[in-house]
């Protein structure tokens, strides 16, 4: 049969009958019915800052955009002239000590040149072109390479660009990130002192972005080769930047 439930008063009566004080009985009943109080905690104080850092380095490579272009009355003649000029360009580049892995064909083209008269267009000539990307691993020899290309190709030669860069950008970018982190840490330490706190642990860190600034190229556009190679070149410096957002706890 079901066991009847015992109330707090009934427990007190039973305990009195057994010689247990009623105060103890009521205390036991109260303990059995007590509910633990909720603990209220506040979120720890934090400070959030944005850190910015940069690092610079001298270029260790140059990427030269060079090519040849020839125009003739027939497509075959234009192709032959282009191929001859391209072979001369490659020979001159290799004579400068440029490895085959650092020479890449970027574009090869053949197109008609139209003559427009009385609203009609008719093919007049054919233009054949070929462009190359040449990586120069000795920056100081960039000018000599440009000179060699223009002398070997004559009026058919083109120097389209010279861009100074780093063969491996990662170490410079890592230095910029380190500078950004240090900037964020210094700012949080200052804010902690100003607020009368102790700087605690790093709660979170996120990268807001990175940047990479190359020197302005001294040569750009489709420029005929004659005379360009002897121009003095200024490599300048390369700058990498980074931004981070850091959250620190305050003690």
Per-residue pLDDT of the chain (251 residues; tens, 9 = 90+): 444 444 444 444 333 344 445 444 444 444 444 445 556 556 779 999 999 999 999 999 999 999 999 999 999 999 999 999 999 999 999 999 999 999 999 999 999 999 888 777 888 899 999 999 999 999 999 999 999 999 999 999 999 999 999 999 999 999 999 999 999 999 999 999 999 999 999 999 999 999 999 876 554 444 444 444 456 788 899 999 999 999 999 99
Q: Give all strands of the β-sheet with 220-224 in edge-to-edge order.
A: 103-117, 120-136, 61-72, 157-165, 220-224
Helix axes 142-153, 75-95, angle to 10 degrees: 150
DSSP string, 60-106: -EEEEEEEEEEEESSHHHHHHHHHHHHHHHHHHHHHTT--GGGEEEE
Reduced to 3 states (helix: H, G, I; strand: E, B; else coil), residue 189 is helix
Q: What is this structure's pTM? A: 0.71
Domains of the chain: 8-37 (no CATH), 59-167+220-231 (3.30.70.2970)
Distances (CA, A) of 88 to 76, 85, 97, 111, 149: 18, 5, 15, 22, 8
Q: Whose CA is closest to 222, among 63, 69, 62? A: 69
């Amino acid at each position: 049969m079901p066991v009847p439930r015992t109330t707090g008063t009934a427990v007190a009566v039973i305990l009195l009958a057994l010689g247990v004080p009623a105060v103890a009985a009521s205390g036991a009943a109260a303990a059995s019915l007590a509910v633990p109080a909720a603990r209220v905690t506040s979120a720890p104080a934090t400070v959030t800052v944005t850190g910015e850092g940069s690092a610079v380095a001298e270029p260790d490579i140059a990427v030269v955009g060079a090519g040849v272009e020839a125009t003739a009355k027939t497509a075959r003649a234009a192709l032959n002239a282009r191929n001859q000029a391209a072979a001369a360009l490659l020979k001159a580049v290799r004579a400068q000590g440029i490895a085959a892995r650092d020479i890449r064909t970027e574009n090869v083209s053949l197109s008609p040149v139209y003559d427009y008269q009385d609203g009609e267009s008719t093919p007049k000539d054919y233009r054949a072109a070929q462009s190359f990307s040449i990586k120069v691993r000795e920056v100081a020899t960039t000018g000599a390479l440009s000179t060699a290309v223009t002398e070997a190709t004559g009026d058919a030669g083109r120097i389209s660009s010279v861009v100074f860069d780093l063969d491996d950008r990662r170490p410079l970018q890592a230095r910029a990130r380190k500078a950004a982190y240090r900037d964020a840490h210094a700012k949080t330490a200052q804010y902690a002192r100003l607020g009368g706190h102790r700087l605690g642990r790093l709660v979170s860190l996120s990268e807001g972005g990175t940047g990479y600034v190359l020197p302005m190229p001294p040569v750009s556009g489709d420029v005929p080769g004659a005379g360009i190679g002897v121009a003095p070149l200024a490599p300048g410096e390369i700058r990498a930047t980074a931004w981070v957002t850091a959250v620190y706890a305050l003690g």
